[in-house]
Amino acid sequence: MRAILIEKPGSCRLVDVPQPKPAAGELLVQIKVTALCNQHDLKVNRGGYRDNVYLEYGVPGFPGHEGAGEVVGLGAGVTGFALGDHVVMSGLGGPPLYAEFVTRRADQVAKVAKDLPLEQVAMAELFGCVHRAVRKVADYTSRSVAVFGCGAAGLAAIQLAKASGAGQVVGIDISPERRRLARELGADRVIDATETASLEVAGVDIAIECSGHKAAYAAACRTARSDVIIFGYSEGVMEVPLWPLFDHELTIHNSKWLTNDDLTAVVRLIETGRIRTAPLISRRLDFSGYAHAVAAVGRGEIIKAVMVPTA
C-alpha cells in the first residue's frame, strides 16, 4: 500500500509498505479521506517543534492524525462494528493516517452515518480538540465570546461556542476572507485583528485564542473578563499583561488533545448540521500533492485541505 514518508524536514515522498493486519480489539480501516493539520504538517515539514522530542520522521503515514474511512477488517473480540461501517479517527489508538490502510483500536474511533460524505468528517479530530478546549468553560449560556484567529480552529470554536449557547460571538482575524467565513459560520460580529482596542475596553466574558500568535495571547487577556482559553500553539515563552489577570480575576485554561468522547460528540454535531465543515475545505488533492498543499498552508492560502490516497 502507499503511504507518505517524511524522512527529514523538507523531504517527503510516497513509499510502498506492507498492508497492516488488525490485532485483537482492532479494526482495519481503508482510508478514504484525510485532512491536513495546518499547524502540525507545516511545522513537521519545516523542522519545527524544537522544544519537543516526540517527532517521528521516518515513520510511514506520519504526521497524519485527521481522517475517515471504511472498516474492512475486524480483529478478534471486536464487537459493535461491522465490515463496511464508516468511521472517523484521530491520532489515538493506532499508527499515523497518511496511508491507504491503518489499524485502530475499536474504542478509539467514532462511527459515522453512511449518508454523510466522509470529507465532511475527515477534519473531526480538529473539531474534537477544539471541543475539549471550549468545554474547559462549563457554561456558555448567553455569555459573550471572542475568538482570536479565524483559521480552521477558530472557525470550529465559533461554531462550538454557538452550539453551547453563547449569546454573542465575535470573530477576530486579519484576513477579510476569514472574517467573511466567520460570519457565514455563525459569528455575530467580526473585527480586524489590528483594530481590537475598543473590544478590549468593552470586554467579553470568554476569550478563546486560536491563532498561535503571541500578540493575540496578550490581546485575549486584555479582552476577557472571566476566562481565557488558549488553543493556538506557539513555541518559546509567552508574555501576557498581568493587570487584567488580577483586575478581572481571570482563569486561564489550555488544552492539548482530545478524547474519543470529544471526537464522537463533534461527529454527532456534524451529522445533525449543528456545525458545518464543508465551508472550511479550501483544496482537495491526493497523496501525490501533499508537499504542494503544505507549501500552500505556509503561504496562508488554505483553511483546510483534504486528501484521498489516490487520484
pLDDT of residue 234: 79
Nearest Cα neighbor of 189 from 156, 150, 135, 245 is: 150
How does 288-308 read in b/e, with b if 16+ C-beta sit within 10 Å? eebeebbebbeeeebbbbbbb
Q: Where residue 53 falls among pLDDT bands split at 50, 70, 90?
A: low
Instruction: Locate the domains of the chain by residue range.
Output: 2-123+277-308, 127-254
What span, in angstroms and rounded, lies between the C-alpha atoms of 143 and 203? 11
Q: Where residue 233 falls among pLDDT bands split at 50, 70, 90?
A: confident
Q: Where residue 5 falls among pLDDT bands split at 50, 70, 90?
A: very high
How does 271-280 read in b/e, with b if 16+ C-beta sit within 10 Å? beeebebeeb
Distances (CA, A) of 181 to 62, 99, 158, 220, 311: 30, 31, 11, 21, 28
Average pLDDT over residues 71-88: 98
Q: Where residue 238 falls among pLDDT bands split at 50, 70, 90?
A: confident
As a whole number, the mean pLDDT across the chain is 95
pLDDT of residue 55: 75
Contact 240, 144 (CB under 8 A): no
Per-residue model confidence as pLDDT tens digits over 169-214:
999 999 999 999 999 999 999 999 999 999 999 999 999 999 999 8
CATH class of 127-254: alpha beta
Superfamily of domain 2-123+277-308: Medium-chain alcohol dehydrogenases, catalytic domain (3.90.180.10)
Nearest Cα neighbor of 34 from 311, 297, 306, 310 is: 306
pLDDT at 120 over 60: yes
pLDDT of residue 240: 85
What span, in angstroms and rounded, lies between the C-alpha atoms of 285 and 33? 10
